[in-house]
């Protein structure tokens, strides 16, 4: 009988194939305690360095990201615990025995991580609006003006007649058009800056008695940064936002070199410099570029906390300010921020809190079922500058109806003080569509910029620019907030548009008081000088031998900017103080 061929027999004892994870776990289980400590220590140090230098992690109790990072590190240090526990189980030990056999040093991080995970999940759940709707609703206090739309509205803004001589100013040029002007002035610069530098963002500020868009020159890339890192970028671009003529220009200011910008690298990165000055502060991601009264450039960053359970409810608490020329940083409480800073409060936090206020006035579940008085902000916002303060303005609309507003809110960007004016009318987007539908604008295909809320002789009005496809301003438009389909007008200058609009709303204009308080005095100006005090401009004048001190914020005081000795000045005096500069008449 021949022997069977062994090679053709089936293999009844195949070699067991271990999956890759088992191989890894097997190798890890052979590592000694001290060796594991060294490996985990080095890896942890690398992770911490990365989080500090590149991720700029905030070491604040309010930072949810910090807690998540700590849990990740604890889980990393828990790996040996799971490895040895599984090994012991495979060797036949019970769960209790397997746990005891694991070195106590590996049990600690696993236990802490478990506790932190449970606590963080509970905090995340129980600090949501579902459980704290009332607390979210009251994060921002809103003073609602009732009655007619016109009367309370008059308390906020100056008349439209005071756009150029009064305290109210609106930005006619928007950020996009300002960026076009900035690109143009860079391209025309004699230093050839356009190939090396760019402006990545613009901030609206009040500077030298007007509104300006300002943007810092930043290096276009790493090699551009290395070539300018010693001296910094040449300066910044500034654009007068109140310009109305077709020849609007940007100005390149090169009196201050900027060593620290968001577009720089390594130690000259503005955000990194600000981070290392206060690593314990929870900072908003967005930086704001501003100028002090002398034109020195600064970056600001909002410091905030989590109001509910150190987990939810962002609330601004201070401001971090950095000198862009030398990197010096200083933190301020909100009530101590210098007067020249305009953007103190966080715009995004204000809008988020306004939505909390609108949605949760009757609790969380009302937003799902009864939906009584559930409101939210409209899409977009704008700015108004009045009486020395910046305001953010946006519409409030019922959540179920986004084509009409029920009111307009104005929030002070320094104090967060907010007023809502009850008025039913167009949303900003509806007003834009109405302006674009005006015959001249529609025929040319112009589109409207985001509108600004103004007071036109007591009539709530949206004011906006109409632009061509290249972004150039071609016309200006006024649209009545409450009757936005028939009471609107546009013109190639603001003055022409104003006259046309005035004809449309004559019957709606609220009469002004005939006799204001105080007595009038008219006389010859024999002396005039201007000076700065506490960040504000004052005039010292002598009229018919009597001296007066007048703040630039006094009604009509800006007329004194163009006044000269021997001019005739008419002022209103109440209680010995000048309450209004009525007129300045030039005498040749």
Token couple for 105:
């040093």
Residues 6+ apart with CB under 8 A from 121: none
Confidence of residue 168 (pLDDT cuts 50, 70, 90): low
Q: pLDDT for 76-125, tens place per residue?
A: 998 888 888 888 788 888 888 888 888 888 889 989 999 999 999 999 99
The CA-atom distances, in angstroms, between 1 and each of 4, 171, 247 are: 9, 107, 111
Query: Among residues of the chain, what percentage have pLDDT more than 90?
Result: 51
Closest of 435, 450, 424 to residue 485, by C-alpha: 435
Confidence of residue 466 (pLDDT cuts 50, 70, 90): very high
pLDDT at residue number 441: 94
Give the least confident one: 62-66, 148-152, 465-469: 148-152
Residues 6+ apart with CB under 8 A from 128: 312
What backbone torsions phi and psi does residue 193 show, to the nearest 5 degrees? Answer: -70, -25
Averaged pLDDT, 46-64:
95
Higher pLDDT, 112 or 26: 112
pLDDT at residue number 5: 46
Return the sign of the alpha-carbon dihedral for residues 81, 87, 88, 92: positive
pLDDT at residue number 163: 44
Residue 375 has pLDDT above 50, yes or no: yes
pLDDT at residue number 8: 47
Residue 14 has pLDDT above 70, yes or no: no
Q: pLDDT for 502-526, tens place per residue?
A: 889 887 776 544 445 578 889 999 9
Give the least confident one: 60-69, 232-241, 327-336, 414-423: 414-423
Closest of 281, 291, 265, 199 to residue 237, by C-alpha: 199
C-alpha to C-alpha distance for 1 and 383, rounded to whole angstroms: 104
pLDDT at residue number 306: 96
- Give the 3-state secondary structure of residue 163: coil
C-alpha to C-alpha distance for 327 and 423, rounded to whole angstroms: 47
Confidence of residue 454 (pLDDT cuts 50, 70, 90): confident
Highest mean pLDDT among 129-133, 154-158, 204-208, 238-242: 129-133
pLDDT at residue number 553: 76
**Do the Cβ atoms of 371 and 358 come closer than 8 Å?**
no
Closest of 335, 311, 333, 1 to residue 129, by C-alpha: 311
C-alpha to C-alpha distance for 432 and 442, rounded to whole angstroms: 12
Element of type H or E holding 349:
helix 347-359
pLDDT at residue number 460: 85
Residues 6+ apart with CB under 8 A from 352: 314
Averaged pLDDT, 270-296:
95
pLDDT at residue number 30: 67
- Give the 3-state secondary structure of residue 341: coil
Q: pLDDT for 192-204, tens place per residue?
A: 888 899 999 999 9
Residues 6+ apart with CB under 8 A from 42: none
pLDDT at residue number 394: 92
pLDDT at residue number 248: 78
Query: Among residues of the chain, what percentage have pLDDT more than 70?
Result: 87
Confidence of residue 158 (pLDDT cuts 50, 70, 90): very low
Closest of 389, 434, 396 to residue 416, by C-alpha: 389
Give the least confident one: 121-125, 283-287, 439-443, 526-530: 526-530
Averaged pLDDT, 321-328:
97
Closest of 115, 91, 133 to residue 308, by C-alpha: 133
- Give the 3-state secondary structure of residue 150: helix
Burial of residue 396 (number of CB atoms within 10 Å: 0-12, 13-18, 19+): buried
Q: pLDDT for 523-572, tens place per residue?
A: 999 989 887 776 667 888 988 888 888 888 788 888 888 788 888 999 98
pLDDT at residue number 36: 81
Confidence of residue 249 (pLDDT cuts 50, 70, 90): confident
Closest of 320, 322, 339, 345 to residue 331, by C-alpha: 320
Average pLDDT, the chain: 86
Residues 6+ apart with CB under 8 A from 354: 140, 142, 376, 377, 394, 396, 409, 411, 418
Confidence of residue 246 (pLDDT cuts 50, 70, 90): low
- Give the 3-state secondary structure of residue 219: strand
C-alpha to C-alpha distance for 396 and 372, rounded to whole angstroms: 15
C-alpha to C-alpha distance for 503 and 22, rounded to whole angstroms: 85
Count of Cβ atoms closer than 10 Å to residue 560 Cβ = 22
Q: Which residue has the tokens 């060797």?
A: 91
Element of type H or E holding 272:
helix 270-277
Averaged pLDDT, 410-426:
89
Averaged pLDDT, 41-49:
95
């Amino acid at each position: 009988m021949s022997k069977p061929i062994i090679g053709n027999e089936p293999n009844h004892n195949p070699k067991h194939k271990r999956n890759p994870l088992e191989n890894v776990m097997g190798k890890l289980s052979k590592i000694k305690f001290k060796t594991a400590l060294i490996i985990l220590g080095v890896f942890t140090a690398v992770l911490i360095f990365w989080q500090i230098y590149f991720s700029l992690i905030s070491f604040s109790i309010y930072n949810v990201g910090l807690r998540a990072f700590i849990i990740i590190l604890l889980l990393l240090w828990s790996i040996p615990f799971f490895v040895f526990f599984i090994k012991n189980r495979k060797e036949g030990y019970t769960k209790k025995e397997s746990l005891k056999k694991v070195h106590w040093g590996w049990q600690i991080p696993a236990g802490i991580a478990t506790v932190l995970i449970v606590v963080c999940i509970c905090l995340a759940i129980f600090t949501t609006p579902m459980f704290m709707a009332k607390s979210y609703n009251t994060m921002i206090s809103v003073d609602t003006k009732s009655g007619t739309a016109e009367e309370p509205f008059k308390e906020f803004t100056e008349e439209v007649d005071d756009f150029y001589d009064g305290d109210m100013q609106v930005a006619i040029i928007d950020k996009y058009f300002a960026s076009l002007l900035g690109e143009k002035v860079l391209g025309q610069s004699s230093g050839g800056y356009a190939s090396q530098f760019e402006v990545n963002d613009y901030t609206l500020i009040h500077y030298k008695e007007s509104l300006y868009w300002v943007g810092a020159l930043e290096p276009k890339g790493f090699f551009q940064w290395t070539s300018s890192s010693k001296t910094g970028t040449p300066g910044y671009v500034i654009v007068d936002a109140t310009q109305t003529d077709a020849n609007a220009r940007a100005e390149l200011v090169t009196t201050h070199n900027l060593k620290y910008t968001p577009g720089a690298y390594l130690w000259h990165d503005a955000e990194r410099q600000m981070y290392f000055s206060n690593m314990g502060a929870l900072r908003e991601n967005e930086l704001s570029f501003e100028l002090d009264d002398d034109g020195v450039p600064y970056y600001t960053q909002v410091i905030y906390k989590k109001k509910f359970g150190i987990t939810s409810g962002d609330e601004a608490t201070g401001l971090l300010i950095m000198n862009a020329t030398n990197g010096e940083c200083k933190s301020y409480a909100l009530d101590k921020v210098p007067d020249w800073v305009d953007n103190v409060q966080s715009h995004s936090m204000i809008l988020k809190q306004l939505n909390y206020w609108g949605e949760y006035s009757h609790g969380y579940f009302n937003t799902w079922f009864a939906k009584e008085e559930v409101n939210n902000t409209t899409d977009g916002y704008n700015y108004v500058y009045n009486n020395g303060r910046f305001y953010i303005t946006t519409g409030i609309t019922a959540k179920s109806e986004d084509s009409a507003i029920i009111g307009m809110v104005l929030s002070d960007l320094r104090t967060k003080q907010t007023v809502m004016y009850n008025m039913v009318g167009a949303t900003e987007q509806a007003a834009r569509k109405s302006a674009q539908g005006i015959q001249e604008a529609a025929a040319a295909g112009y589109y409207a910029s985001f509108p600004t809320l103004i007071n036109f002789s007591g009539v709530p009005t949206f004011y906006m620019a109409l632009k061509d496809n290249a972004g150039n301003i071609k016309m200006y438009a006024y649209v009545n907030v409450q009757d936005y389909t028939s009471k609107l007008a546009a013109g190639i200058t603001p003055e022409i548009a104003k006259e046309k609009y005035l004809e449309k709303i004559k019957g709606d204009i609220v009469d002004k008081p005939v006799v204001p308080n105080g007595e009038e005095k008219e006389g010859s100006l024999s002396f005039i000088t201007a000076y700065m005090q506490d960040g504000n401009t004052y005039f010292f004048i002598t009229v018919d031998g009597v001296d007066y001190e007048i703040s630039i914020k006094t009604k009509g005081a800006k007329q004194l900017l163009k006044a000269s000795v021997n001019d005739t000045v008419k002022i209103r005096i109440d209680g010995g103080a000048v309450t209004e500069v009525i007129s300045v008449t030039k005498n040749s």
